[in-house]
Chains A and B, each alone.
Chain A
Amino acid sequence: MKILMTGNEAIARGVYEYGVSVAAAYPGTPSTEILENIAKYPEVYCQWSPNEKVAMEVGIGAAIAGARAIVTMKMVGVNVAADPLFTVAYTGVRAGLVLVSADDPGMHSSQNEQDNRLYAAFAKIPMLEPSNSQEAKDMVGLAMEISETFDTPVMLRITTRIAHSLSLVELNDPIERLVKTYERNSRKYVMLPGNGRLRRLVVEERMQDLADYSETVAVNNTELQDPSIGIITSGISYQYVKEALPTASVLKLGLTNPLPSGLIKEFAAKVDKLYVVEELEPYMEKEVRLLGINVIGKELFPPHGELSVRMVSEKISGQPGIKVASAFDAPIRPPVMCPGCPHRGIFYTLKQLKLVVSGDIGCYTLGAMAPLEAMDTTICMGASISAGLGMIKAHPEMAEKMVAVIGDSTFLHSGITGLMDVVYNGGNLTTMILDNSITAMTGHQHNPSTGKTLMGQPAPQVDFVALCKALGVKRITEVDPFDLETVKAVIKTEVAASEPSVIIARRPCALIIKNTEKPLQVQECTGCEMCLKLGCPALSFDTENKTVQVDQALCTGCELCMNVCKFNALRKAGDA
């Protein structure tokens, strides 16, 4: 049976079909749905880890112990997981271990555009790149096979267009799910320098063996047609090439580390003009050049953003494509905090107080956008607190004019160590933990503070107050983010305090609660537009009547705007 699946669903299906026993991840677009779909197969143990490094290590432990394991993350997550990754490349595994890196060319929902193919080369591990959902599923099986045959972790590298595009996939019955016995082998798994030096040589031998394997593996495939144009490509770029230049000869590479130098030389000799078509870095192009082969690549295609059928066609044929009508001038529709979002009042207050805000990654990053515009920096997960400490070490007087803002999931991901540093090194920084009881931005995943696991089991909940106390923070205040008066007073007191402090603003995400409040009504509005500064999508200005109006379908009745209105114009239905 063939069904339509996203690449992410197909990878999850592959996990089910190819006997994987353990799966771990931290959510991150465009990788999140892989684990969410694995959770639909109860045969596979799966879990959200607090961060990517932990997930990687859970996978490593499972694979060393004898179970096939998969670990998935977005590309910046691999930065977090890089430490264990580079060393497990030395130790190897006992059962298959696959790391899925979901890259985001075009930065649809990411803070940078790094090309993680370079990680495979850097860590010296084999890499597979599927070009559609069927290949994504099949390559889970192939990756496990390579991992066990060559005793190495394997990277399965996808991009947003593979992760989030649907194409047809043939479903198969699962193979038997076997877990090998654990066998102690400290020479192989204890990476003391003496052992590491031996394994270092194994890595080189293994890469040599893999290079030979790369010449014959079926996923590296020559499609010889018109010899005037030859194109080396992989992943989604293959689809663009086939549509743009259906008669061209193509060397389609599925195993892209190590690259098959013999196949490449052979292909280059058979075609008149050789191109490499790849998104982002000239990863394959450089390797081809090292073989002494003249090739055209990044002089035609940009090292940033996504490629397209039209771009491939125009650049290689040298002919302009169809003329396209210009776009109309439409005002942008950026993502916004939802009506009833508990973050909104916090950023409204921070803006009022004119504080410097060291920000972090989550829904609350939207606090950087108009009209709230209350965020100064966002670098990576966890950076809010540690970068905040750096700011006050540069300008001690800034401590009274700034806060670090971080979410519950992000604090658990990598904020705890930053807060430890603040306490240890005497930074009188104020940290705000916006606890909305969920990992919201990626689509509501559980985390160690929410009381539930990915497999739906109840779990102990991290106690943020006790945790911060244990780190040595003495000033800890809990507030309701809808109680703006208290929020404002507490922030003022805490930024003025001359020691580290933590404010925990606690209220669940508006999308995970069953709301019973009625939408607000407008009466005797003066048209001062004060409430519009909250940036709530349920509020708009009626230019004819010069009053604010409340969208009855969107308003959650959170009353935040009632708190801001000085004229009592926004009221609960039934209130006089």
Chain B
Amino acid sequence: MSKIINVLLVGVGGQGTILASKIITHVALAQGYDVKMSEIHGMAQRGGSVVTQVRMGEGVYSPVIEPGEADFVVAFEQLEAYRWAHFLKKDGTLIVNTQKIVPLTVLIGAANYPESILVDLKDRVERFIELDGLKLASEAGNVKATNVVLMGVLSKYMEFPEEAWQNALVARIPAKLLELNKKAFASGVAAAK
């Protein structure tokens, strides 16, 4: 575990990136990794672009991931995938929830939501996974579990045992929502195959 693994979670305020990052850190800590995590809040929580950074390895110094250094970018929204794609390592993995949340700049006609996001990303990134996480979460019982669907996808590409992820779900999710979220996680795992 000498090398450091960088996971960048990007989305829009309110999409549940924080809970997702807590699931990842729980898994990493249980596997004996040192972990640092960074999140910037403040004005961003009012519907702005949000980013959470998780770094894990034997001894982690900086809590911040820099452009070109993320092993994984998990994008909860298309445009955010586009915005943060250059943070990915050359051989990094990009997981994109194809949901679109239109920013105000586009709503008021000051900018356009780029049409070619998925095509451009596929073109640049070799390890590219796209999925309709919202639909899978809705099928599992609640659209709010989209974040856990995405963790299911991520779990297939990270080298942690399945059991560790299941333990993290139990530890981090309230009991009455656990079954639903386990279903959501499983659908993410299936979508990754």
Contact = CB atoms under 8 A, between A and B. Distances in A.
B86 interface: yes
Contact of A330 (B46, B68, B83): B83
Given A331-B112, A333-B79, A166 B38 contact: yes
A67 to B, nearest CB: 31
A338 B46 CA distance: 7
Given A29-B41, A441-B43, A370 B105 contact: yes
Which size class do B's interface residues fall under? 35 or more
Contacts of B49: 332-333
A371 B111 contact: no
B105 A535 contact: no
B43 A168 contact: no
Given A168-B35, A240-B61, A325-B86, A309 B47 contact: no
Contact of A532 (B47, B105, B108, B124): B108
B97 interface: no
A198 B81 CA distance: 63
A354 interface: no
A118 B1 CA distance: 41
A29 B107 CA distance: 28
A326 interface: yes
Interface in B116-138: 117, 120, 124
Given A165-B37, A240-B62, A243-B62, A336 B104 contact: yes
B37 A4 contact: yes
Determine which residue in A323, A331, A441 has the highest number of CB atoms from chain B within 10 A of its CB, and name it.
Answer: A331
Nearest to A532: B108
A331 B42 contact: no
B156 interface: no
A232 B169 CA distance: 43
Contacts, number: 158
Interface residues of A, number: 52
B66 interface: yes
Contacts of B43: 29, 108-109, 335, 441
A501 interface: no
Interface in A306-362: 308-310, 322-338
A331 B25 contact: no
B109 A335 contact: no
Given A165-B36, A338-B46, A537-B47, A328 B108 contact: no
Contact of A331 (B34, B46, B79): B79
A233 to B, nearest CB: 12
B104 A242 contact: no
B48 A108 contact: no
Given A240-B62, A532-B107, A164 B40 contact: yes
Given A161-B64, A166-B63, A327-B83, A332 B40 contact: no
B44 interface: yes
Contact of A160 (B34, B36, B40, B103): B40
A161 B55 CA distance: 14
A370 B48 contact: no
A109 B109 CA distance: 26
A108 B40 contact: yes
B37 A30 contact: no
Contacts of A337: 46
Nearest to A308: B66
A451 B3 CA distance: 52
A332 B105 contact: yes
Given A240-B61, A363-B46, A330 B82 contact: yes
Contacts of A366: 46
A329 B86 contact: no
Contacts of B42: 29-30, 108-109, 442
Contacts of B120: 328
Contacts of A242: 61
A310 B120 CA distance: 27
Contacts of A239: 61-63
A135 B148 CA distance: 33
B180 to A, nearest CB: 18
B45 interface: yes
B39 A328 contact: no
B178 interface: no
A539 interface: yes
Interface in A520-536: 529, 532-533, 535
A195 interface: no
Interface in A102-150: 108-109, 132
A167 interface: yes
Given A161-B64, A336-B46, A329 B114 contact: yes
Contacts of A331: 79, 103, 105-106, 110-114
A167 B47 contact: no
B44 to A, nearest CB: 6
A324 B41 CA distance: 26
Nearest to A106: B40
A41 interface: no
B113 to A, nearest CB: 7
B85 interface: yes
A331 B45 CA distance: 18
A543 to B, nearest CB: 10
B175 interface: no
A327 B86 contact: yes
B67 interface: yes
B102 interface: yes
Nearest to B83: A330
Contacts of B108: 370-371, 532-533, 535
Interface in A498-547: 529, 532-533, 535, 537, 539-541
B171 to A, nearest CB: 12
Interface in A535-576: 535, 537, 539-541
A363 B45 CA distance: 11
Interface string B65-88: 011110000000001101101101
Given A108-B40, A322-B68, A333-B103, A443 B47 contact: no
A535 B64 CA distance: 33
Contacts of A164: 38-41
Determine which residue in A164, A328, A529 has the highest number of CB atoms from chain B within 10 A of its CB, and name it.
Answer: A328
B9 to A, nearest CB: 13
- Pairs A-B, 4 closest by C-beta atoms: A109-B42, A331-B111, A165-B63, A324-B68
13 contacts: A4-B25, A132-B36, A165-B38, A167-B36, A240-B62, A243-B61, A309-B61, A309-B64, A328-B117, A330-B114, A331-B106, A333-B79, A532-B109
Given A333-B104, A533-B108, 20 more contacts: A29-B41, A164-B39, A164-B41, A165-B36, A165-B38, A239-B62, A239-B63, A240-B61, A243-B62, A308-B66, A309-B66, A325-B124, A327-B67, A327-B83, A328-B120, A335-B47, A336-B47, A370-B108, A371-B108, A442-B42
